[in-house]
Homo-oligomer: A and B are copies of this chain.
Amino acid sequence: MLFSQRDTMYMARALGLAWAAKGKTFPNPAVGAVVVSKGKIVGTGATQFCGGPHAEKVALRMAGKRATDATLYVTLEPCCHYGRTPPCTKAVISAGIKRVVVAINDPNPLVNGKGFALLKAAGIAVDTGLLQDEAAAVNEDFFWAITKKRAWITLKLACTLDGRIADEQGDSRWITGREARTFGHELRRRHAGVAIGRITLERDNPRLTVRHMKGFSPARIVFTSLEKVPLNTYFSRHAKKARCIVVVSGKGRRTIVRNANSGLEYWHTGEKETHAHLSVFLEMAFENNIISVLIEGGQRLASSFLESGLVNRVYLFYGNKILGRGREGMLFSKGLPINKCISLNKKQIFLLGDTIGITGIPDNLK
């Protein structure tokens, strides 16, 4: 299918709506939809909060009667099953839509291709694949999680030009510039959870909230081999304002204990060995509707995830600084030989003010 320039324009608009909704729709994917009638946009919509209407329905409601014989642009295959809401395919058919243009099909086994089939059976023209790569990027975490049944992991590291995340005194404020730190909040907004290690909690006491922009607060997660976390931290003191999870390693049963007093959830993976511990966490996160987690450090947690081959996407930020000594961003338990080291696939490079950003997919991803 060769799409027209107008088709592309409308789909780009729908993608913009999807990106804006990103982070507010978990565990659902973020979707955007645009209804066009007689060359005019008559309805727009994005996925609402979990349990609320999907993008198509919001757009169709806005379009009202003008949806008859109109074209619907939607960034993901419309759903066809009863979940928290009735199927979107039904709403599309009853609105009298004549043509549906879709960016990418839904890998969710409950939908995958079945949505298209239902629409076609109702006599609706369906064209797919427009801006497919862009649509895949919006929901790469969802697509991964729904097919692998484990959470998507993004690793973010802010380091100096010589690869350090703190000076010899442990000071890390600020390695990168303002623009990069703002983008850090954008990354938090896009994830269902934000995680750090216990040492980082004790040293930096980060809030792990989304500031500088609107967005839901992701779940806050601290990894520890101890049973307890310090009580005088923002994490512990504000545990009732967002989902706050303490992930504990160690032999035993896989359990989740919710402490009504503190508001903290304790997740025991029942595993002591690092790779097994982190793998179980990824399954538990998925089962508990946390489909994506942003790892913000420190050195040990970041290195453990990356060394274990459990990182889906890396963001490296290089501030314009050279420290000469200090805490290295990466320190594996076992160094890699140069001919077997990790490379980044689909690498992209960008500038955030004075800071250089690199993102890519580690080639040791399991």
Residue positions of A touching B, CB distance < 8 A: 159-164, 166-169, 171-175, 303, 306-307, 316, 320-326, 328-332, 334-339, 341-344, 347, 349, 351, 354, 356, 358, 360, 362
Contact B323 A341 (CB under 8 A): yes
A342 CB, min distance to chain B CBs, angstroms: 4
Please give, as numbers and ranges, the residues of chain B lying within 8 Å of A337 by CB-CB distance: 167-169, 171
Q: Is B341 touching A322 in the complex (CB atoms < 8 A)?
A: yes
A351 to B347 alpha-carbon distance, docked (Å): 12
Min distance, Cβ A220 to any Cβ of chain B, angstroms: 25
Q: A351-B349, A356-B349 are in contact. Are A335 and B343 (CB under 8 A)?
A: no
| A175 nearest in chain B by CB position | B338
What are the 8 A-B residue pairs with the smallest beta carbon separation, nearest first?
A163-B163, A325-B335, A324-B332, A162-B330, A168-B335, A322-B342, A167-B338, A321-B341
Establish whether residues A347 and B338, one from each chain, have CB atoms under 8 Å apart when the complex forms. no
Q: Which residues on B sit within 8 Å (CB–CB) of A166?
A: 338
> For A172, what are the chain B residues with a Cβ–Cβ distance below 8 Å?
338
The reply to whether A324 and B336 contact each other, CB–CB distance below 8 Å, is yes
In the bound complex, what is the Cα–Cα distance between A362 and B160 (angstroms)? 14
User: Across the interface, do B332 and A161 meet the contact criterion of CB distance under 8 Å?
Assistant: no
The contact of A342 among B169, B173, B321, B328, by CB within 8 Å, is: B321
- Complex interface: chain B residues within 8 A of A332 (CB): 323-325
Contacts of A360 in B (CB 8 A): 320
Measured CB to CB, the nearest residue on chain B to A342 is B322
> What are 6 of the A-B contact pairs (CB < 8 Å)?
A159-B163, A161-B163, A175-B338, A306-B324, A323-B338, A349-B356
Closest residue on chain B to residue A320 by CB atoms: B343
> Which chain B residues lie closer than 8 Å to A339 at the CB level?
171
Which residues on the B side are within 8 Å of A351 (C-beta)?
A: 349
Given contacts A163-B163, A356-B349, A358-B356, contact A173 B338 (CB under 8 A): yes
A347 contacts across to B, CB distance below 8 A = 320, 354
Task: Give complex CA distance A278, B218 in Å.
Answer: 53
Find the B residue at minimum CB distance from A163: B163
